[in-house]
Amino acid sequence: MMMEGSGLSPDDVNERIASNADFLDMVFSWSIDDIFNDHFYSEKFMQIPDSFETVMEYFSSFVQPLLEETRVDLRSSLEIISRAPYAEIVSYDKIKRDRLLYSVQIDEWRNRYNDRGKEPYKTLPGDIFVLAKSRPESIYDLQVLAQTWVLASVTNISKNNSEDEIDDDGSSTTSFKVLSSRDIKEIDDSCSSLFLDHNSCESSNCSILSEDLCMEISSSLNTSQYEAVVTSLQATQCEHTSQVQLVWGPPGTGKTKTLGTLLYFLRRLNVRTLICAPTNVAITEVASRLLELIMNSSETDSVGTFDSLGDILLFGNKDRLRVGSNIEDIYLDYRVKRLTECFAPLTGWRSCFPSLSNFLEDCVSQYNVFTENEMIKAKEQSIDESVTAPQIEPFLTFVRNRFKAAAQPVRRCIFLLCTHISTSCIGDNNFKFMNHLINLLKSFEKLLFQSELRSEELLELFSSREDEDSLVDGAGLNNMPLLEAHRRECISILRTLQQSLGALFPNIMSKESTIELCFKMASLIFCTASSSYKLYTTPMEPLSLLVIDEAAQLKECESAIPLQLPGLRHAVLFGDEYQLPALVKSELSKNADFGRSLFQRLSLLGWPKHLLNVQYRMHPAISSFPNAEFYLKQILDASSVRSKCYERQYLPALMYGPYSFINVSEGREEVDDDGRSRRNMVEAVVVAKMLHNLYKSMCKD
């Protein structure tokens, strides 16, 4: 018996969704026949209009295409269910009586590497499962055994269980919460298997900029790039009206450079900004470009020794973002881990700062206690009283060893605090103190490890109670007064910082409070457009600006996710509607313009765009066609692509010119092993041969 369909007409569906009915309820109401019925929503499928009378009309127009796209995506996943990751259910418990919400525990994922060359599957919120009594090998199994399976969607991953854990018996388990389409007990109390589609369906007053600032912006940009950046920055300074800017970036015109420069100066102006992109790859590229600009900047940071990045934050799934060493300092999970270390009572500044200051102040007393303990220990271990006294390490060796041990965690803690806490949050004075302390510790250590320094001299120096001013005045005579002066200054700064940090962060100790701190101090937040929904429930100051990269590749309904965040006043969209559009699988949705981006809509309505009009990538012979066909010959070729060195040919054949069309007549397309991608092995061989010839030619040169 099939799962029953919703029984609702498209108009009824539209009304339910528009009145805030649960999107998942509609998905769960589909039967197998509904999912595989390509005409399920075709009867009253309407074109998305160019303009709207009301906000409700605007949002409602996307309902049918979104449901249709979800249906096609789900169908595509079910078609290859035999290759989907699956696992055995260890236990499941209903959480609420009035809702089909369950806590589920499984043993381990099998078949999780089914897509070659991709990361192993990991459970994420929004993933759709098939919970079944027995593992289905095909759609036919689901059709025949309709009452022995249900659909379920992951709502939450256990906080202490984001990765597979190892049980006492050596087996691995994973826990998460799911919302089910109907009561799991209906399929069987002994429900034993959980199946998951790897490519899971996912629910888815104006001030003028200073002349100096404008001069600084123009130093590395061409005229069109400069105008786009300055106009966008100017818009953010408007308080009496909202602004939307479109930056039109054809291929090779420096869109990413322009965007990076804009973000760099938004940071300088402390404009709280959310930066989004359609994909994880795109958002990490923008973030890395900004960090590159910051690191290469000649501007001297107030910290001096450190690069403070606490006001920049990237969040999302680490594997999908492919977080590398170049951007890990701004990645939320990495930052929380490092700051938790700094704020922990036993390992953080609350412990290491007083430990070092106490040692520097009482090193003589601590040495005396150390020698007494060594004598007692030796006496207890010696039976023959005629044995000579034990060799006690000199005061100088004691101080050197203990200082290095106590100073190392202080240095690390300062480095982490200065890197991961924003200047505005921790204060300029504290940053200056920490920077100065690092230099003092370095200088103190250098003086302490001088070869001519004698233990007796150091003991006498640190035992004295001389006036600090006299020590400083005598610093020019030899290094001993300077050593003592550094010691006392280190003690003073350590205690000042300990008191100041205690007042600033009295309750920052847990992971949750650290996460809240990270969002609170961030002025630039990076994430994909789909991940921005998490910011609706994140306690933080409102963001004022939204910047979207690759905006023409983002469905308009996807842009609405970050655009509705409370407090947003302005938006800047970077894109090019003549490049790749958003991916839409359903032909019905595609024909209804479901894939149309907000960037494209505004362009069609005549919204002004800042065109980046100089291209630096293509040989003029290549750029001439797209320039004439798509950009009304508005794009200029940079001098670099018109130079003779850009015309170099590694091989003499005509096919190795600026471009060529190669007909591979014997090739044919075939479906790859994953059942989705296509490949042409003959074309691949031809490309490999061309690369081989080019490589040989380059080696000769």
The predicted structure's pLDDT at residue 473: 42
What is the C-alpha separation between 637 and 635, in angstroms, rounded?
7
pLDDT surpasses 70 at 6: no
Quick check: 307 and 559 in contact, CB under 8 A? no
Range 331-346 average pLDDT: 92
CA distance 95 to 156: 13
Nearest to 261 by CA among 286, 234, 241: 286
Pairing of strands 670-671, 243-248: unpaired
> Residue 396 corresponds to which amino acid?
L
Q: Which residue has the tokens 């090019």?
A: 576
The closest alpha carbon to 593, from 62, 33, 53, belongs to 62
Segment 177-203 shows an average pLDDT of 61
Contact 192/88 with Cβ under 8 angstroms? Answer: yes
- Residue 106 and residue 89 in contact, taking contact as beta carbons nearer than 8 Å: yes
Q: What are phi and psi of 523, to 5 degrees?
A: -105, -20
CA dihedral 553, 557, 558, 563 (to 10 degrees): 110
Q: What is the pLDDT of residue 465?
A: 59
CB 128 within 8 A of CB 152: yes
pLDDT in tens, 235-261: 888 777 788 999 999 999 999 999 999
Confidence of residue 22 (pLDDT cuts 50, 70, 90): low
- pLDDT at 510 (0 to 100): 83
For residues 589 and 622, give the distance between their C-alpha atoms in angstroms, rounded to a whole number: 34
pLDDT in tens, 549-596: 999 999 999 999 999 999 899 999 999 999 988 989 899 999 899 999
Q: Give strand ranges (E) for 576-667.
A: 609-611, 614-615, 636-637
Better pLDDT: 664 or 208: 664
What are the pLDDT digits (tens) for 421-435?
A: 998 899 889 999 999
Residue 678's identity, in one-letter code, is: R
CATH number for the domain formed by residue range(s) 222-332+523-612: 3.40.50.300
pLDDT of 4 above 90:
no
What does the block give as tokens for 388?
């000579």
Beta strand extents in 5-124 (DSSP E only)? 86-94, 101-106
- CA–CA distance, 123 with 155 (Å, rounded to integer): 10
> What contacts 220, CB < 8 A, 6 or more positions away?
261
Cα separations in angstroms, 2 against 27, 211, 498: 15, 70, 67
DSSP-derived secondary structure letter, 526: E
Instruction: Determine the Cα–Cα distance for residues 679 and 676; give it in Å rounded to an integer.
Output: 10
As a residue count, the chain comes to: 701
d(CA 672, CA 679): 6
Are 96 and 109 in contact, with CB atoms under 8 Å apart?
Answer: no
What's the rounded mean pLDDT across residues 288-317?
79
Q: Read off the amino acid at residue 453.
A: L
Question: At residue 134, does pLDDT exceed 50?
Answer: yes
Residue 18 is which amino acid?
Answer: A
Per-residue confidence (pLDDT) for residue 474, from 0 to 100: 39
Confidence (pLDDT) at 1? 22
The tokens 């680490």 sit on which residue?
A: 318
pLDDT at 106: 84
Average the pLDDT over each of 40-54, 400-414, 567-581, 678-692 and give the range with the smallest value. Answer: 40-54
CA torsion sign, 444 to 445 to 451 to 455? positive
Where are the chain's structural domains?
10-160+171-179, 222-332+523-612, 346-376+395-464+479-504, 649-699
CB 529 within 8 A of CB 553: no
**179 and 76 Cβ atoms separated by less than 8 Å:** no
Predicted structure pTM score: 0.77
Average pLDDT, the chain: 82
User: Most distant CA pair in the chain: distance in Å?
Assistant: 107
Q: What is the mean pLDDT of residues 634-657?
A: 80
Q: Which of 178-187, 340-349, 409-418, 447-456 has the lowest mean pLDDT?
A: 178-187
338 vs 91, more confident: 338
Cα separation values, 211 from 218, 294, 548, 595, Å: 11, 21, 27, 42
| C-alpha to C-alpha distance for 311 and 401, rounded to whole angstroms | 37
pLDDT at 3: 31
Over residues 457-472, mean pLDDT? 66
Report the alpha-carbon distance of residue 479 to residue 483 in Å, rounded. Answer: 6
Share of the chain above pLDDT 90, in %: 40
Which residue, 412, 425, 435, is CA-closest to 303?
435
Q: What is the pLDDT of residue 701?
A: 63
Query: How do strand 524-528 and strand 273-277 relate by DSSP bridges?
Result: parallel
d(CA 259, CA 282): 12
Helices marked H in 254-321 — which ranges? 255-268, 280-296, 318-321
- Report whether 19 contacts 25 (CB < 8 A): no
- Average pLDDT for residues 134-151, to the nearest whole number? 75
Where is mean pLDDT largest: 36-45, 113-122, 143-152, 227-236? 227-236
Please answer whether residues 67 and 44 qualify as being in contact, where contact means their C-beta atoms are separated by less than 8 angstroms: no
Nearest to 649 by CA among 634, 640, 660: 660
Q: What pLDDT is recorded for position 457? A: 86
For 24-58, write each residue's pLDDT tens digit.
788 888 888 888 888 888 776 778 888 888 888 88
**pLDDT value for 207:** 58
Both tokens of residue 121? 């599957």
What pLDDT, on a 0 to 100 scale, did the predictor assign at position 303?
A: 43
Pairing of strands 670-671, 678-679: antiparallel
Count CB atoms within 10 A of the CB of residue 339.
Answer: 25
pLDDT value, residue 195 = 53
pLDDT in the model for residue 20: 44
Is the pLDDT at 77 greater than 50? The verdict is yes
Identify the residue with better confidence: 534 or 92: 534
Cα–Cα distance measured from residue 90 to residue 111, given in angstroms and rounded to the nearest whole number: 18
Which residues, in sequence order, are CB contacts of 257 under 8 Å at separation 6+?
A: 221, 225, 289
| Long-range CB contacts for residues 389-397, cutoff 8 Å, separation at least 24 | 394/455, 395/364, 395/367, 395/455, 395/456, 395/458, 395/459, 396/453, 396/454, 396/455, 396/458, 397/455
